[in-house]
């Protein structure tokens, strides 16, 4: 028990608040947020910048939008005191997703503005000045009541908005508009005076309204919030700062049919200034890990792997560290008969495996000896060649004797380095695995469909013969047996090519492809670092025909012909879709499916082709080896994508693309 007292410690949990446990360090180590906040705050406070003004702060979940906006709010307090080039800025914080009644959004926003005024004791400051205004508003009972209550010093925000009937809330702004401009002007001036005596001047002051997490609203509500903001766009002195995931917001706007689905145009009219939070780098996350977990050097060592698995996301990183801390505290109390340093080493490595190689974790739970099997496999290879680890590239003959579900993992050098030093003591492994099953895995890291033993480079053999081809169902003959990939090439699989420096080896490239690669300085797919598209088990996209061709050659394969592709997709009898003649949005990922991005290549088990191939309708278009016509300028692509309607995902449909194009809807599979 003495050992337990020495090593057992409470779990240290990092707050999910924007500033974490220590507001002095802004909890954004290495992310350059201080410079971003100063720049945006200066832009807002600079008195020569006219209002009304809308600023969009764009970023994905957990990227730091709220943290940045909170920092901007703090900086504005500093600039408001400086004077000179800067105006007074009063701020209001509004979270529209908290207000479920769609028709009450406007009233809820106005209420937040009133609450900010009440918190500043504004109504007591101006009650004498509103006595004159009250006389002007006798024709409007509601406004006269507000003004009189302010004058009498009896106005209470909570009581006033609580008493409003639903119907009054619907038209509240139109009743309130005549008073609102005067209220804002008096509030931001910060020196009460009868407001009707002078014209509002936004160089003196402005009201800054922070709209936080717009993308958390139900999709139907997002356009309404934006329409609400538009009502304020004729009010001098109003500045909106909106934090959002732009793609989610634009998708919601398009789904509601605004501007004939021209969502980007709608946003351009709304937002005058846009700030996209820059993508975080491996160094950013490494610095973050070192600051938040200085006693975990192993995390810093594997920061590259952790960064990629967590999509370079600060909030995701905090959640990962909190989960690890909880497990460390619990395990130190449950398991005291083994070396605690070895136990902690294993727990950290297992935590990284969970987020970076979840398929291996699932397999290990069924096959507890998986870690020892991989370690034995590594030792045998290194015994034969001590330099093997320096250039980790495995051929099929290297994998003999190793269980097939492990093949895809051991190709990855980072995986090898993580497992190689994993403590091999059976008690340690058992304790770590059992604990992870007990506590589970953070929901945000769960893949949409986890496949145990999924082999990304699996192929199916198709015999030579005749089949019905094209819209006219013309008889065509393929005079050779061939193999074709069961799945489109995934990000994980394409990563093997990058890791083997495939972009640097001219032997895999055609002359035209190498010239294009060299001229454009191409080193990876177009969307390789974009978290929306780079899930390991999703199809790789943003690859040109040249890149697809080089990858196929690297694997000892080639791109399929248009005939081979269609034979694999529809079988011999000319069916319309891989699964039959009737379209079914539940059997593929296309426009009608409503997903608006790629999906795991293993998802649609009910949409298999007669040959057993996945995703031959939807998800991504796939390059083939054929030119589209006699001009030989554009290549044939087949299968349609997540972006396309059902007509385009028919087996017979074909389209064309320039061989150097790199779209978020085009990938490929290989043949042999």
**Between residues 654 and 167, which one has the greater pLDDT?**
654
Which pLDDT does position 174 carry in this prediction?
A: 57
Lowest mean pLDDT among 245-249, 421-425, 538-542: 245-249
* The model scores a pTM over 0.95: no
Q: How many CB atoms lie within 10 A of CB 151?
A: 20
Bridge partners (DSSP) listed for residue 242 = 56, 211
Which pLDDT does position 27 carry in this prediction?
A: 44
Lowest mean pLDDT among 327-336, 346-355, 578-587: 327-336
Q: Quick one: which of 142, 155, 154, 150 has its CA closest to 194?
A: 150
d(CA 348, CA 353): 9
Which pLDDT does position 587 carry in this prediction?
A: 93
Percentage of the chain beyond pLDDT 90 is 30
Sign, CA dihedral 405-407-410-415, equals: negative
568 and 611 Cβ atoms separated by less than 8 Å: yes
105 and 228 Cβ atoms separated by less than 8 Å: yes
Which pLDDT does position 167 carry in this prediction?
A: 38
Angstrom CA distances, 148 to 128, 156, 196, 464, stand at: 10, 12, 16, 89
660 and 516 Cβ atoms separated by less than 8 Å: yes
**Between residues 168 and 151, which one has the greater pLDDT?**
151
Q: Are strands 238-244 and 205-211 parallel, antiparallel or unpaired?
A: parallel
Question: Domains of the chain, with CATH numbers?
Answer: 37-276 (3.40.50.300), 282-445 (no CATH), 459-667 (3.90.1580.10)
* Residue reference for tokens 């009054």: 168
Which pLDDT does position 320 carry in this prediction?
A: 81
Q: Quick one: which of 600, 601, 597, 607 has its CA closest to 643?
A: 597
- pLDDT band, residue 448 (cuts 50/70/90): very low
Helix (H, G, I), strand (E, B) or coil at 435: helix
d(CA 540, CA 552): 13
pLDDT tens across 239-276, in order? 999 988 877 777 777 666 654 445 566 677 778 888 88
Q: Residue range 388-403: average pLDDT?
A: 80
250 and 264 Cβ atoms separated by less than 8 Å: yes
Which pLDDT does position 443 carry in this prediction?
A: 39
Element (H, E) at 636: strand 635-638
d(CA 418, CA 305): 10
172 and 178 Cβ atoms separated by less than 8 Å: no
- pLDDT band, residue 283 (cuts 50/70/90): confident
- pLDDT band, residue 668 (cuts 50/70/90): very high
- pLDDT band, residue 35 (cuts 50/70/90): confident
**Between residues 266 and 370, which one has the greater pLDDT?**
370
Percentage of the chain beyond pLDDT 70 is 76
pLDDT tens across 93-148, in order? 888 877 655 456 666 777 788 788 878 777 776 665 555 555 554 445 555 566 66
Lowest mean pLDDT among 71-75, 149-153, 348-352: 149-153
Per-residue H/E/C for 401-420: CCCHHHHHHHCCHHHHHHHH
Which pLDDT does position 11 carry in this prediction?
A: 62
Strands across the sheet containing 273-276: 88-94, 205-211, 238-244, 53-58, 273-276
**Between residues 160 and 369, which one has the greater pLDDT?**
369
460 phi/psi in degrees, rounded to 5: -125, 140
Which pLDDT does position 309 carry in this prediction?
A: 67
- pLDDT band, residue 634 (cuts 50/70/90): very high
Strands across the sheet containing 621-627: 654-657, 635-638, 621-627, 666-667
CB-count exposure of residue 444 (10 Å: 0-12, 13-18, 19+): middle
Which pLDDT does position 642 carry in this prediction?
A: 94
Residues 6 or more apart whose CB falls under 8 angstroms from that of 382 comprise 388, 389
Q: Which of 19-23, 253-257, 347-351, 599-603 has the highest mean pLDDT?
A: 599-603
d(CA 124, CA 133): 15
Element (H, E) at 319: helix 314-334
Which pLDDT does position 257 carry in this prediction?
A: 61
Which pLDDT does position 327 carry in this prediction?
A: 79
Task: Classify residue 477 by its DSSP letter.
Answer: E
Lowest mean pLDDT among 204-218, 334-348, 559-573: 334-348
Average pLDDT, the chain: 79
Q: Are strands 482-485 and 666-667 parallel, antiparallel or unpaired?
A: unpaired
- Whether 355 shows a pLDDT value over 70: the answer reads yes
Q: Residue range 369-388: average pLDDT?
A: 88
d(CA 51, CA 169): 26
575 and 562 Cβ atoms separated by less than 8 Å: no
Instruction: Calculate ∠ Cα 311-602-578, nearest 5°.
Output: 135
Q: Residue range 537-549: average pLDDT?
A: 96
Secondary structure percentages of the chain, helix, strand, coil, to 5: 50, 10, 40
- pLDDT band, residue 652 (cuts 50/70/90): very high
Helix (H, G, I), strand (E, B) or coil at 635: strand
């Amino acid at each position: 028990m003495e050992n337990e007292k020495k090593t057992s410690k409470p779990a240290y949990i990092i707050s999910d608040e924007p500033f974490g446990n220590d507001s002095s360090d802004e909890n954004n180590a290495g992310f350059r947020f201080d410079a971003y906040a100063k720049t945006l705050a200066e832009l807002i406070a600079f008195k020569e910048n006219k209002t009304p003004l809308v600023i969009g702060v764009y970023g994905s979940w957990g990227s730091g939008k709220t943290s940045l906006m909170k920092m901007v709010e703090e900086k504005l307090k500093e600039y408001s005191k400086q004077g000179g080039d800067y105006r007074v800025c009063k701020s209001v914080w509004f979270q529209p997703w908290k207000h479920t009644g769609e028709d009450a959004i406007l009233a809820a926003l106005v209420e937040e503005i009133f609450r900010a005024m009440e918190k500043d004791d504004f109504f007591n400051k101006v009650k004498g000045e509103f006595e004159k205004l009250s006389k002007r508003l006798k024709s409007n009972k509601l406004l006269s009541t507000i003004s009189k209550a302010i004058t009498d010093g009896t106005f209470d925000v909570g009581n006033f908005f609580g008493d409003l009937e639903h119907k009054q809330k619907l038209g509240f702004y139109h009743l309130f508009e005549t008073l609102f401009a005067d209220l804002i002007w008096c509030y931001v001036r910060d020196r009460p005076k009868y407001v009707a005596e002078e014209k509002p001047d936004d160089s003196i002051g402005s009201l800054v309204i922070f709209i936080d997490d717009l993308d958390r609203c139900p999709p139907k509500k997002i356009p309404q919030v934006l329409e609400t903001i538009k009502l304020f766009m004729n009010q001098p002195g109003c500045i909106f700062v909106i934090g959002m995931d732009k793609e989610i917001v634009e998708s919601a706007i398009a789904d509601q049919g605004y501007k004939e689905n021209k969502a980007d145009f709608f946003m351009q009219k709304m937002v005058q200034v846009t700030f996209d939070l820059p993508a975080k780098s491996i160094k950013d996350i490494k610095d973050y890990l070192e600051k938040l977990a200085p006693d975990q050097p192993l995390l810093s060592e594997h920061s590259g792997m952790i960064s990629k698995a967590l999509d370079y996301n600060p909030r995701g990183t905090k959640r990962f560290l909190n989960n690890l801390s909880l497990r460390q505290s619990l395990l130190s109390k449950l398991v005291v008969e083994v070396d605690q340093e070895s136990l902690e080493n294993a727990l950290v490595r297992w935590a990284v495996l969970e987020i970076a190689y979840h398929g291996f974790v699932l397999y290990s739970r069924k096959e507890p000896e998986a870690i020892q099997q991989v370690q034995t496999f590594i030792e045998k290879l290194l015994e034969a060649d001590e330099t093997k680890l320096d250039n980790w590239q495995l051929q099929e003959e290297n994998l003999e004797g190793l269980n097939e579900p492990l093949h895809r993992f051991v190709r990855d050098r980072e995986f090898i380095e993580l497992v190689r030093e994993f403590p091999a003591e059976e008690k340690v492994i058992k304790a770590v695995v059992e604990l992870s099953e007990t506590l589970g895995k953070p929901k945000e890291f769960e893949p949409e469909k986890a496949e145990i033993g999924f082999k990304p480079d699996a192929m199916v053999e198709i015999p030579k013969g005749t089949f019905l081809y094209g819209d006219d169902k013309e008889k065509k003959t393929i005079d050779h047996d061939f193999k074709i990939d069961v799945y489109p090439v995934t990000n994980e699989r394409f990563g093997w090519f990058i890791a083997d420096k495939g972009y640097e080896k001219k032997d895999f490239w055609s002359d035209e492809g190498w010239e294009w690669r060299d001229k454009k300085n191409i080193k990876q797919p177009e969307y390789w670092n974009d978290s929306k598209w780079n899930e390991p088990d999703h199809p790789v996209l943003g690859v040109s025909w040249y890149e697809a061709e080089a990858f196929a050659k690297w694997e000892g394969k080639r791109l399929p012909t248009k005939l081979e592709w269609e034979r694999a997709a529809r079988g011999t009898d000319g069916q319309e879709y891989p699964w039959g003649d009737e379209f079914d949005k539940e059997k593929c990922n296309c426009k009608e499916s409503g997903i608006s991005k790629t999906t795991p290549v293993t998802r649609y088990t009910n949409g298999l082709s007669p040959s057993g191939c996945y995703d031959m309708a939807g998800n991504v278009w796939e390059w083939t080896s054929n030119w589209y016509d006699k001009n030989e300028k554009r290549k044939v692509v087949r299968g349609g994508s997540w972006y396309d309607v059902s007509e385009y995902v028919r087996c017979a449909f074909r389209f064309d693309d320039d061989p150097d194009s790199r779209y978020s809807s085009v990938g490929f599979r290989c043949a042999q």
